[in-house]
Amino acid sequence: MSTQKKSLWRRLTGQKKAHSSPAANANEPHIYYGHWPESFRFLNAASFLRGGAQLKDWDSTKAAPFITELLNSERHRFFQAAMGYLFSAGVEGDYLEFGCFSAVSFRMALTWAKMLSLPPMRFVAFDSFAGLPEVDADVALPSWQAGTMAMSEADFMKTLREHGVGLDRVETIPGFFDATLTDELKAKWIAEGRRASFINVDCDLYSSAIPVFRFIEPFLTEGTVLYVDDWFVGYRGSPEKGVAKAFREFAAQSRFRFQPFLNSGWWGRAWIAYLPAAASDSARDRIL
Ligand SMILES: C[S@@+](CC[C@H](N)C(=O)[O-])C[C@H]1O[C@@H](n2cnc3c(N)ncnc32)[C@H](O)[C@@H]1O
């Protein structure tokens, strides 16, 4: 390949001359699993539009990691845009994540808050650190079982240390939500004047989301991003099941209304909380 063509290829694929090996990337911010060039390669048409020759040996063993990569690219773009919104709209407050597992989204939040130099905020990780509790009957994914997606608190913190961004701002609240999201914690945070700019509800189950939505109301502020992962996939799009059902029940009684914001690929959906100018008694108007 000529030097000119190599340079065009690098621009199209995001590959960098000096960073062609993972070792050379060691000191760069880790956006999520995988390294920048590999991850971003899927996002541009030049390499995405694979021809028959490239797909000759393509099968489910290659499709599975590809789908994960594609989904993480979508999540990554979502976090980039949501943090960009917080910056542009000047919304301040902490990042609260309910369901943290292997810290993929948590690291995306840390990275983009740092890259956009958002005002000082805390990053609070709520998780059992022992995986899912007993699952509800209405879930569509057979892989969701009690104890799946377990990462210990020590391993979670080790992952964050290796990532190396914003560690001094991280707080963990270990335990199942019905035991940790207490009225005492709520009162303490209210007394401290805490606010949330970004709430990530990523706990998969209706029964897990109920204590989360009971907890968060006092910490919403005008402009808070409220993201509900698993909106589409876990319940095959039904708003009458799972985390979507829990959100709709919460929204029907919240003093806030929720403006549709962004989707995270085909998996989750975000809203922006706002206070209505005049009180409305119609629950139907609460989610636009
Ligand atoms: C899909 S994973 C979260 C993925 C994570 N956000 C990431 O990007 O790596 C779901 C997490 O929710 C946690 N979880 C679900 N229900 C819970 C509950 N009732 N109490 C505490 N943690 C819960 C599980 O332990 C698991 O770590």
| Per-residue pLDDT reduced to its tens digit, 65-112 | 888 888 988 999 999 999 999 999 999 999 999 999 999 999 999 999
pLDDT band at 32 (very low <50, low <70, confident <90, very high): very low
- Using CA atoms, how far apart are residues 164 and 167, in angstroms rounded to an integer? 7
Instruction: Report the candidate in 203, 234, 253 with the shortest Cα–Cα distance to residue 96.
Output: 203
From CA 199, how far away is CA 93, in angstroms rounded? 10
Between 51 and 132, residue with greater pLDDT: 132
The answer to whether residue 144 scores a pLDDT higher than 80 is: yes
User: 92 C-alpha to center of ligand 1: Å?
Assistant: 25
> Given a cut of 70, is residue 253 above it in pLDDT?
yes
Q: Given CA atoms 62, 64, 67, 68 in this order, what sign does their dihedral have?
A: negative
State the pLDDT at residue 160.
97
Please report the pLDDT score of residue 50 as a whole number.
67
Residue 203: pLDDT over 60? yes
103 CA from centroid of ligand 1 (Å): 10
Confidence band, pLDDT 50/70/90 cuts, at residue 229: very high
What pTM value is reported for the model?
Answer: 0.84
Average pLDDT over residues 195-220: 98
**Domain edges within the chain:** 3-55, 75-286
**Ligand 1 pocket member 230 (CB < 6 A):** no
Pocket test for ligand 1, best of 79, 95, 101 (most atoms within 8 A of CB): 101
Is 208 touching ligand 1 by the criterion CB < 6 Å?
A: yes
Q: Which two tokens stand for residue 220?
A: 């919403």
Q: Is 39 in the pocket of ligand 1 (CB under 6 A)?
A: no
The alpha carbon of 176 and the centre of ligand 1 are apart by a number of angstroms equal to 10
Ligand 1 atom closest to the Cα of residue 108 is 8
Q: What is the strand order of the sheet 225-228 is part of?
A: 170-174, 123-127, 94-98, 196-201, 225-228, 268-274, 257-264
Whether 286 has a pLDDT exceeding 70, the answer reads: no
Centre of ligand 1 to C-alpha 215, Å, is 16
Q: What is the pLDDT of residues 259-270, one digit of tens each?
A: 999 999 999 999
Task: Report angle CA 80, 85, 91 to the nearest 5 degrees.
Answer: 125
Is the minimum distance from the CB of 103 to ligand 1 under 6 angstroms?
yes
Q: Which two tokens stand for residue 6?
A: 């190599």
Among the four given CATH numbers 3.30.1490.190, 3.40.50.150, 3.30.1360.120, 3.30.70.20, the one describing domain 75-286:
3.40.50.150
Alpha carbon distance 96, 185 (integer Å): 14
pLDDT at site 69: 84
pLDDT of 134 > 90? The answer is: yes
**If you take atom 11 of ligand 1, which residue's CA is the nearest one?**
99
pLDDT at 4: 53
Instruction: Report whether 82 contacts 270 (CB < 8 A).
Output: yes
Q: Given this model, what pLDDT does residue 30 score? A: 38
Structure tokens at 68: 């994960």
pLDDT of residue 6: 52
- 31: Cβ contacts below 8 Å, ≥ 6 apart: 39, 76, 107, 108, 111
Phi and psi, residue 25, nearest 5°: -90, 0
Let me know: does 78 contact 180? Beta carbons within 8 Å: no
Nearest CA to ligand 1 atom 12: 99
Residues 6+ apart with CB under 8 A from 286: 251, 252, 254, 257, 258, 280
